[in-house]
Amino acid sequence: MRIPFGFLVLFLFGIILIPLHLMSSATQKASELNQWYSWLLLINVLGSVLLLGLVGGNIWWLVRQFRKRTAGSRLALKMVLLFVILALTPASIVFYYSYQFLHRSIDSWFDVEIDRAMESSLELGKAALDQRMQGLLKRTRQLAEDLEDVPEKVRVIELNRLRDRSGASELTLLTRRGRIVATSSAGLDLILPSMPDPSLLSLARDGAYVSLDPSPGPVVEEKGAALFQVRVLLPLELEQPLFLQALYPLPGRINALAQTVENAYAHYQQMAYLRRSLKFSFSLTLALTLLLSMLASIWAAFLSIRRIVAPVKMLVQGTRAVAQGNLDSRLPILQKDDMGFLVSSFNTMTTHLARARDEAERSRRQVEDQRAYLETVLGHLSSGVLTLSDQTRLRTANQAAETLLGVDFSTIIGKPLRSLAEANPALAELVQLIRSRLLENEGVWQEEVIIKDQQGQKVLLCLGSPLLGADGHRSGAVLVFDDITALVQAQKYAAWSEMARRLAHEIKNPLTPIQLAAERLERKLKPQVSRAGGEVLERSTHTIVQQVEALKTMVNAFSEYARLPKLQPQPVAMSILIDEVIALYPPDSGVEFQLDLDPQLPVILADPLRLRQVLHNLIKNTLEACAPPVEVKISLHLVEQRGGKGIEWVVEDNGPGVAPDQVEHIFDPYVTTKSRGTGLGLAIVRKIVEEHGGTIHLDRQYQQGARFVIRLPLESERPLQKSPATRRVREGQPHSHNVTG
């Protein structure tokens, strides 16, 4: 069962009030607690020390909390200061005026007139008693004179008679040393007479001694009992020096009055003496009461403030936790009041926030998954994908875009679109196209773009589409690039192959009858014509046959181009292959070779016959284009290229090179700058290289002649393909499907 806080505080104050009340009661004169005053004082002092320690501990706790900037410490400090000021101010005022009132009250007990009255009453009493004592002294002297005439033997009897006559309660004869000689007493209860103190005997030795003497013997505390008696001591000069002691009782009325005067005077004197002590002790009691009450109040205030601040502290900590993203903490509801309601509301709020956060997290994860999915898909696409912001700034680009456009996007992401052209000047036309399309604010658009760089030209199919936000507004654009160079080339090959096949079919078939007809004409007509006519006929027939042969050769070449045999791949050491080929060109052939072959080159998987044809065609092309002597430099190196390692095979000559207007078409069939040849040599070279998965281009920057750069992938980096054209076509189909779909 939980005890209410208010009850605990009341109980505490009750515990504190009990010793305070007892101590206050102990200051009453008639109180039985009077004898316990010191203990009660000590208990209250210890209580004060205990409370002081508790308050000090709380103050230390508060100061530490404040220095640490703990949540709620400022509020607690303010409340404590406010409470202490509010409590101390009236308490101090009350204490000050109580202190003043106390001191003035005590001072008012003592007055000069009262002093004088008390002194006078005492003096009056003394005077009255002195007079009576003088009379008794005189009476005793008379007794002494009477006794001096009495013989020693009857002195005891005479002593009784004199006592009866004088009204004394006791007559005693004493030696000078205080020994009893004879005594006579009125009472029967006392066996021994009341003996004077030896000091009194010495006082009486020189004359007489008379005093108002409190009755010696057992203490009698009955009210009205005779306290005083008159003691007279006289020296006697008998046969030996003696003392006569006479004790006279005072009349009851006088005795009572004397006691009253003496008690009142003694009490007043005592109070006057205790005046300063009373002030001090009352002030101490008052101060202790105030101190104890204040300390108890401050402690109770600390307990209350800590209870009040606890939910605030929790709320601040909870708010900080929420600010740091911890929405799972729930605060305990300690009180069923406004603070409890506030804490409950806070818990509800954090619950809602946590729910919203979880939903947001789920959404974020979904978006993240989708983004990762898209990144993966885009990263593995062979199509280049580029996104632009609303301000035509580059936002994202996939790996294929970097490969296709030949740009490192990591340095230009976030920059304007024109930076694409700055990174790769060959893309200027493409950038211009995109800008114009974006400015036209078209929807989905598609265009083929030819990019010309050092490695030749590349045909890109560019598809543009606006990016729409969730609200339907345009937030940028997405561009998809597909390299359709191979597709275009394949289409071109297919067309050329078809044309070659038809040429072979349509041209080659009539050539034989033409040739046979021409030979028959010569054979039939030669005998019938003149000699001169025969010569003409022979020359003409020969020309026809020769040209038909030439046409046959050409048609055979076309046929061969159209029907190149399938690759027969096998491990090939390129250095050996090159050595074998150039061995066929002796020094008198007019060709001088310079070789730069990397000895560390690995073996590649290729068709050696076709690669020999490549080198033969290139050398033949050089020989046909140049007048001997010709210098052909062949180099072979391992290179790192996009997509993996490869072999760079360079064949360069010192010939006239290629005219700029022919550069784009030198690998096309039936294109030749030479007076001889079919125009198929370089076309076949390109076809063979591409069938091996490689590339070939003419180095445009090489000015000393023609420089062909062939790059062949290593076998480990590529799967063998039956036909590059076929491959390209097959890859191109899904691309175009992607673009259009």
Partner 1 sequence: MRHLNVLIGIGLWLCSLLVWPQEYGFRVRHASLSFQQDAIALIAGITYRFSDTLIEALQHGVPLTLTVTTSIRQPRHWLWDDTLWRRKLNFRIQYYPLSQMYRVVDETNRFQRSFPRLETALAALGVLDEIALPVDEGWAPPRNSYAQLRVRLNIERLPWALRPLAYFSPEWRLYSSPYRWQISK
Binding residues (CB under 8 A) for partner 1: these are 26-27, 34-35, 37-38, 41, 122, 125-126, 129, 197, 199-200, 203, 211-219, 228, 258, 261-262, 265-267, 269-270, 272-274, 277-278, 280-282, 284
Question: Coil, strand or helix: which one is 346?
Answer: helix
Cβ nearer to partner 1, comparing 13 with 36: 36
- Structure tokens, 272: 């006057």
Cβ 133 to partner 1 shortest distance, Å: 10
Residue 462: which H helix or E strand, with range? strand 456-468
Cβ nearer to partner 1, comparing 287 with 714: 287
- SS3 of 175-204: ECCCCEEEEEECCCCCCCCCCCCHHHHHHH
Cβ 248 to partner 1 shortest distance, Å: 14
Q: What is the separation of C-alpha 734 from the centre of its chain, rounded to a whole number of angstroms? A: 51
Cβ nearer to partner 1, comparing 231 with 458: 231
Question: Is residue 600 exposed (0-12), middle (13-18) or buried (19+ Cβ within 10 Å)?
Answer: exposed
Cβ 218 to partner 1 shortest distance, Å: 6
Cβ 221 to partner 1 shortest distance, Å: 9
Cβ 31 to partner 1 shortest distance, Å: 9
Cβ nearer to partner 1, comparing 3 with 30: 30
Cβ nearer to partner 1, comparing 133 with 162: 133
CB 412 within 8 A of CB 420: yes
Q: How far is CA 281 from CA 38, 287, 662, in A?
A: 11, 10, 127
Cβ 103 to partner 1 shortest distance, Å: 14
CB 572 within 8 A of CB 611: yes
Cβ nearer to partner 1, comparing 3 with 220: 220
Cβ 276 to partner 1 shortest distance, Å: 9
Q: How far is CA 573 from CA 445, 580, 602, 693, 720, in A?
A: 49, 11, 7, 17, 17
Cβ nearer to partner 1, comparing 48 with 617: 48
- SS3 of 473-495: CEEEEEEEEEECHHHHHHHHHHH
CB 653 within 8 A of CB 591: no
Residue at token pair 């007055």: 111
What does the chain come to in residues?
741
In whole angstroms, give the CA distance from residue 196 to residue 208: 13
CB 608 within 8 A of CB 572: yes
Cβ 210 to partner 1 shortest distance, Å: 11
Cβ 340 to partner 1 shortest distance, Å: 49
Cβ 245 to partner 1 shortest distance, Å: 14
Residue 549: which H helix or E strand, with range? helix 531-562
Cβ nearer to partner 1, comparing 282 with 346: 282
- Strand residue runs (E) in 522-578: 570-572
In whole angstroms, give the CA distance from residue 26 to residue 36: 7
In whole angstroms, give the CA distance from residue 106 to residue 121: 23
What DSSP designation does 416 have?
A: B
Cβ nearer to partner 1, comparing 259 with 297: 259
Residue at token pair 């265009």: 447
In whole angstroms, give the CA distance from residue 288 to residue 293: 8
Question: Coil, strand or helix: which one is 463?
Answer: strand
Residue 233: which H helix or E strand, with range? strand 228-237
Helices (H), 381-474: 399-405, 418-423, 428-439
Half-sphere exposure of 564 (CA within 13 A, CB side): 27
Cβ 288 to partner 1 shortest distance, Å: 10
Cβ nearer to partner 1, comparing 27 with 335: 27
Cβ nearer to partner 1, comparing 270 with 704: 270
Cβ nearer to partner 1, comparing 77 with 256: 256
Cβ 197 to partner 1 shortest distance, Å: 6
Cβ 100 to partner 1 shortest distance, Å: 19
Cβ 123 to partner 1 shortest distance, Å: 10
Lateral strand order in the sheet of 695-698:
591-597, 630-641, 644-653, 707-713, 695-698
CB 184 within 8 A of CB 159: yes
Question: Is residue 52 exposed (0-12), middle (13-18) or buried (19+ Cβ within 10 Å)?
Answer: middle
Cβ nearer to partner 1, comparing 212 with 651: 212
Cβ 140 to partner 1 shortest distance, Å: 18
Question: Coil, strand or helix: which one is 714?
Answer: coil
Cβ nearer to partner 1, comparing 58 with 194: 194
Cβ nearer to partner 1, comparing 10 with 46: 46
Cβ nearer to partner 1, comparing 277 with 410: 277
What DSSP designation does 717 have?
A: G
CB 688 within 8 A of CB 712: no
Cβ 59 to partner 1 shortest distance, Å: 24
Cβ 184 to partner 1 shortest distance, Å: 22
- SS3 of 659-688: CHHHHHHCCCCCCCCCCCCCCCHHHHHHHH
In whole angstroms, give the CA distance from residue 649 to residue 713: 11
In whole angstroms, give the CA distance from residue 296 to residue 350: 39
Residue type present at position 463: L
What sign does the dihedral 438-440-444-446 (CA atoms) show?
Answer: negative
Cβ nearer to partner 1, comparing 127 with 576: 127
In whole angstroms, give the CA distance from residue 49 to residue 733: 97
